[in-house]
Amino acid sequence: MSYISSLRCLLCGREYKPTEVIYTCPRCGHNGILEVNYNYEVIKKVFTKESLENNKNFFMWRYLPLLPIDNPSLIGPLNVGWTPLYEAKRMMDYLGVNNLWIKDDGRNPTASLKDRASAIAVVKAQELGIATLTCASTGNAASSLAGASASLGLKNFIFVPRTAPKAKIAQLLVFGATVFAINGTYDQAFDLSIEASENFGWYNRNTAYNPYMVEGKKTVALEIAEQMNFDVPDYVFVSVGDGCIISGVHKGFYDLFNLGFVNKIPKLVAVQAEGCKPIVDAVNGDGVIKYVEPHTIADSISVGIPRNGKMAVRDIKESGGFGIAVSDDEILSSIKLLGSIQGIFAEPAGVTGFAGYIKAITNGVIAKNSKVVVIVTGNGLKDVDSAMKSVKSPLQIEPSLESVKCALNNICR
Amino acid sequence: MSYISSLRCLLCGREYKPTEVIYTCPRCGHNGILEVNYNYEVIKKVFTKESLENNKNFFMWRYLPLLPIDNPSLIGPLNVGWTPLYEAKRMMDYLGVNNLWIKDDGRNPTASLKDRASAIAVVKAQELGIATLTCASTGNAASSLAGASASLGLKNFIFVPRTAPKAKIAQLLVFGATVFAINGTYDQAFDLSIEASENFGWYNRNTAYNPYMVEGKKTVALEIAEQMNFDVPDYVFVSVGDGCIISGVHKGFYDLFNLGFVNKIPKLVAVQAEGCKPIVDAVNGDGVIKYVEPHTIADSISVGIPRNGKMAVRDIKESGGFGIAVSDDEILSSIKLLGSIQGIFAEPAGVTGFAGYIKAITNGVIAKNSKVVVIVTGNGLKDVDSAMKSVKSPLQIEPSLESVKCALNNICR
């Protein structure tokens, strides 16, 4: 059994046992997101820095005592987590900063951070004896769920906006999911998937509805802390859509703070696209989320109704962080910059946190010697069409040395 | 300094010191591929099963004593290797076999096995004081070289056929490479890149020309052996283009056999597309490579002139293995099968080895209880257009439960 002590409603504060409720607070309805509380005093007895040191499981499951899993034998076979944390030496030289780290979560099984949450979802569904799962997604949550489900023989019904990038659709279909491409937005897909799961009895993985997704996503922060030898950064920059990843990052550091592994929680910086920045505006303003019609190339964070907005705003403010918005052009040029300087290829939303970091450094919002981790949330191969907008075309030549020389001369001219 | 004892010409057998020659045998010319020999007796003193057990470097560099590296401080920052080896339990049930393992090398930094070779190339170039590299590629060799080069600030000039999949081109351009898309085949790109590197002084990474690429690729076999606790499989199935990966697989097991880590070398099975199978025909026939005009959807192995053919045929025959060809339709259906049963998404050439395994089992060429490793050489996100040919389209619906029900009824009908 897990070390969960209770599930607490974000709105009314009422607490439940995990056996009493599956998704949200029965009193508050769909907006009553439940937060997972753990019995840290008991966890401290089995989970220590020494036990971690001796743990040869280099996946997210090395943090099992901090995860909401009752039956570990139901964990899927794909290797999720323990992604690289790179000290970005060349980027530091390029930007004139001196303490920048990049966590490349595009190295997960289906090439996004969302694999961490889906790995939890498939276990929770099986624990309930449910073999069919659903979710709404801009693409990555779904492809991660479909991959994890395929590896375990679970069925999927997926709701995505018709505009989702082709690569994410291809993943879904290859993994065998039934895909509903809806003539509408992610926000509509979200509501429809809940209606469908209530109607058909499918287990629902939706972010900010299923209480356990934040718990999966927090493993990225657990890893960052351990990979930095528990000397945590001053800031963590995260791209934000629904606001579930950034709350996961907060939760990971919060867990470690409560266990005495780290002495502070980093300031969390939410980065959104200028065309879709309800959480940035709320964090920097009165704290209230105002819904917007999303307009951005970064499909994964093109979320006008951020379902986890309330929790995210609270977490960012509590950490002492802030919000920052970047243009689509800044996102595109960051794809090229991160690729050409560090050899890391990120999708638009994957690189948005990094674009925000550059803006924060450039504008003097944070000091150049701040210790910063930027999370890359998804691989560039997920959205090649957007990447191509950030670069020039190849040089078309005939297969001859003369043709090479001519092309090179044209470049130099 | 490395533990290399000599470089030996595949054609004339003449041996050279590594300081004497950079690419091929001076006597035999471009076809005189050099093989790297090591001083195993000295390596045995520093590299043991115990030293591996205590080694916490879980990248390809954990095998450093078996690699052709003189200056390890020049190794790039990207985390290459130690990719998952999955026991394919669901696939075993599906196929009615009982000892199948899948090595997912699509989990490398630029999403293909080629990262292992490029990681070596960038070190060798720097050791020679050369900061500009070139290669010809169907796509993956180049994108891996470009990623590794970007992470170290090295320049790239890349030659690819104009028909290379867009995702691979996007990787190249995002990583900052200068890309020559030639109006011709990979085979023409190969010759042109050598001409260009001789003319401009660029370091050449070409497979079967640069002697060290096999050494990088062999780390996949070193990992397979270690991940299986040195109880190696009966067969390893590998997709084959130039024949360099399969020779790398052979070399890895050969090294471990000479060190006494394993008691046999697995039988190597070369899998090619029916529309491009010069190595399969040579292995199963008189051993002589006959060049063909390639016709296959699997771009990474669409190689009519397999530059490493002679070595590959020798290695496959010595191992007791064989060749097998599969149709493009079999390749496409294998993409869907591997994705939907195991949650692993592979590009066409990446799944070709697996398609060959299915054919070999179906035709009774190998026994169903044979212990087999299939190597997946590249991620499906590399070629989404091909993947889409293996699946049905999403269900287009309006955002309403009625629309969902209607679509489900249509499926069930």
What domains can you pick out in chain B, each with its CATH number?
A: 85-111+213-388 (3.40.50.1100)
Residue A184: its chain B contacts at CB < 8 A? Answer: 398-399
- How far from each other are the two terminal CA atoms of chain B, in whole angstroms? 68
Quick one: pLDDT band at residue A410, thresholds 50, 70, 90? confident
Rounded to the nearest integer, the mean pLDDT of chain B is 96
**Residue B161 distance to chain A (closest CA, Å):** 9
Residues A173 and A158: their CA atoms lie apart, in Å, by 10
**Residue A262 distance to chain B (closest CA, Å):** 23
Query: Are the beta carbons of B280 and B272 closer than 8 angstroms?
Result: yes
* Residues 6 or more apart whose Cβ sits within 8 Å of residue B301: B138, B239, B240, B241, B272, B273, B276, B349, B352
**Residue A278 distance to chain B (closest CA, Å):** 23
Tell me what pLDDT residue B398 has: 96
Residues B183 and B188: their CA atoms lie apart, in Å, by 9
Query: Are the beta carbons of A225 and A262 closer than 8 angstroms?
Result: yes
Tokens 């070709």 sit on residue:
B352
Tell me what pLDDT residue A412 has: 60
Burial zone of B365 (CB within 10 Å; 0-12 exposed, 13-18 middle, 19+ buried): middle
Contact A175 B111 (CB under 8 A): no
Residue A189: its chain B contacts at CB < 8 A? Answer: 399
Give the ipTM of the model, two decimals please: 0.96
Question: By CA distance, what is B136's nearest residue in A?
Answer: A399
Q: What percentage of chain B carries pLDDT values higher than 90?
A: 96
Residue A150: its chain B contacts at CB < 8 A? Answer: 339-343
For residue range A131-180, list pLDDT tens digits in order. Answer: 999 999 989 999 999 999 999 999 999 999 998 889 999 999 999 999 99
Question: Which of B176, B179, B192 comes nearest A339 by C-beta?
Answer: B176
Adjacent-strand bridge partners of A267: A235
Helix axes A328-342, B140-152, angle to 10 degrees: 90
* Residues 6 or more apart whose Cβ sits within 8 Å of residue A51: none
* Dihedral, CA of residue A89, residue A95, residue A99 and residue A105, to nearest 10: -70
Residue A162: its chain B contacts at CB < 8 A? Answer: 396
Tell me what pLDDT residue A297 has: 92
Adjacent-strand bridge partners of A158: A135, A179
Q: For testing the chain A interface, which of B133, B404, B405, B406 should be mutated: the one with the most A CBs within 10 Å?
A: B404
Quick one: pLDDT band at residue B218, thresholds 50, 70, 90? very high
Q: What are the structure tokens assigned to A251, written together?
A: 């939760």
Contact B340 A147 (CB under 8 A): no
Give yes or no for residue A360 having a pLDDT over 80: yes
Give the burial string for B222-247 (b: 16+ CB within 10 Å, else e). Answer: bbbbbbbeeebbbbbbbbbbbbbbbb
Give yes or no for residue B66 having a pLDDT over 60: yes
Tell me what pLDDT residue B138 has: 87
Tokens 């398609």 sit on residue:
B355
Tokens 């940035």 sit on residue:
A280
Question: By CA distance, what is A341's nearest residue in B?
Answer: B150
Strands (DSSP E) contained in A39-154 are: 85-87, 100-104, 132-136
Strands (DSSP E) contained in A119-172 are: 132-136, 155-161
Question: Which of A78, A181, A195 comes nearest B394 by C-beta?
Answer: A181
Tell me what pLDDT residue B411 has: 73
Query: Are the beta carbons of A159 and A189 closer than 8 angstroms?
Result: yes
Contact A399 B86 (CB under 8 A): no
Q: For testing the chain B interface, which of A59, A171, A175, A188 should be mutated: the one with the most B CBs within 10 Å?
A: A175
**Residue A188 distance to chain B (closest CA, Å):** 6
How many CB atoms lie under 10 A from the CB of residue B392? 11
Tell me what pLDDT residue A351 has: 98
* Positive or negative torsion for Cα B169, B172, B173, B174: positive
Q: How far is residue B89 from each of residues A36, A212, B312, B343, B364, measured CA to CA in Å?
A: 33, 27, 31, 12, 20
Cα angle value B340/A351/B73 (rounded, 5°): 95
Quick one: pLDDT band at residue B412, thresholds 50, 70, 90? low
Question: Which of A109, A175, A388 comes nearest B170 by C-beta?
Answer: A388
Tell me what pLDDT residue A413 has: 55
**DSSP labels, A67-89:** S--S-GGG--SS------EEE-H
Residues B110 and B103: their CA atoms lie apart, in Å, by 16
Find how far residue B280's CA is from the centre of its chain: 17
Contact B162 A395 (CB under 8 A): no
Tell me what pLDDT residue A148 has: 98
Tell me what pLDDT residue A321 has: 98
Q: How far is residue B383 from each of residues A297, B28, B380, measured CA to CA in Å?
A: 21, 38, 6
Tell me what pLDDT residue A411 has: 73
Contact A166 B384 (CB under 8 A): yes
Determine if the pTM surpasses 0.95.
Answer: yes
Q: For testing the chain A interface, which of B175, B188, B199 should be mutated: the one with the most A CBs within 10 Å?
A: B175
Rounded to the nearest integer, the mean pLDDT of chain A is 96
Residues B218 and B213: their CA atoms lie apart, in Å, by 9
For residue range A8-54, list pLDDT tens digits in order. Answer: 999 999 999 999 999 999 999 999 999 999 999 999 999 999 999 99
